[in-house]
Each structure stands twice: as structure tokens, then as C-alpha cells.
Amino acid sequence: KNNGILITAKTLKDDNPKLDCRILGLEKFSPIKIILDKNLSTPINSNIFLKSRRSKIIIFHNIKNKRKINLLRKNKVLTIFTEIDSDGKFDLKMIFNKLYKLNISRLLIEGGKKLTEDLLNNSLIDEFYLFRSNKKILSNGRFNVSKLLKKINIKCKNKKNITTNLSGNILTRYNF
């Protein structure tokens, strides 16, 4: 069985992550990179495509752009056309079943508010880790963390704070 890491195209564009293991000698344990990208807007010059960081990449999409699909396939990316519902969302249960059939049994998800809410609403989370910084970030009104935390706490069966040495950050583990 394989491990995967799932993000959205928005996270890819906003953060340009590498999504790999950079510990010397453990690079071969990098997870399979999975991107939810309805419009195939994934920039081909993103860090995940760097040759030195090459590992398997899967993109779930909902647009038939032959040129972009061919370009991604030339870069050894598996593209999977996937229907969306009337709200414009992927069926996450179907995607997770497809990933399981592709031999991916453990999945780390780096999701924002919308993806996290969809996962919670569909009961698709086993564990949830929340890192909280002691730094205060001014809210611009777009993302109300307290509402999401309330939802997590309601669905959570067990919650445990874990001590870390990460600059005073607090790590909380939620089990569902």
C-alpha cells in the first residue's frame, strides 16, 4: 500500500509546495501527490514538477482540455476526469474509493476551509491535526477559524493536545 498527500489546486497555486520527503536517505518515501483541480489550472512550473522531486502525481479534474492533459501526461501525471455535483464539488467518497483502487491506503490532506468542511460533512476524516501558532493574525473576514473548530469539536470523539518544540505552537490531535 502507498501513502498519498492531497491538496487542492488553490493550495498548489497559493503555496507552491514540494510535497515530498527531504530527509537525506528517505527521499524514496515521498508520498504520491494528489491534486483536486476542477479546471486543470495547475501550473506546470510548480515545485511538484521539478525533476529532482519527481514522484507519482495524480490530478482529478472536470474539464476536457486535451492540450493541458497531454502536457501533464508528458510529465508522467495521471489525469482522471471526474464528475462534479450541482454545487460544483467533487464526490470525495468516489475519489477516495478510486485512490484505494490505485493502492493508496493512507492519505494526508492539507486542506483549507472548504475542503475540510466537505471532509467533515461526509465523515471522511479519521484523524485531524491542528497546528496553532501563538502569533496573532488579523482576520480579513474571509476565513472564520472558530466556526470550523466548533464543527470539528462537535464531530470529534477524542481530542488530545500534544506538546511540540515548534516555536511554542500547539498541536491538537482530533480522532473521529
Classified as helix, coil or strand, 10 is helix
Mean pLDDT of 112-123: 90
Q: What percent of the chain has pLDDT over 90?
A: 56
Tens-digit pLDDT profile for residues 120-172: 999 999 999 887 776 665 555 555 677 888 888 888 888 888 877 767 778 88
Is the predicted pLDDT of residue 29 greater than 80, yes or no?
Answer: yes
Confidence at residue 21, expressed as pLDDT on a 0 to 100 scale? 85
**At CA 107, angle to CA 149 and CA 61, rounded to 5?**
95
Mean pLDDT of 45-52: 81
Classified as helix, coil or strand, 30 is coil
Query: Higher-confidence residue: 45 or 133?
Result: 45
Helix orientation angle between 145-155 and 113-121, rounded to the nearest 10 degrees: 20
91 burial level (CB within 10 Å; 0-12, 13-18, 19+): middle
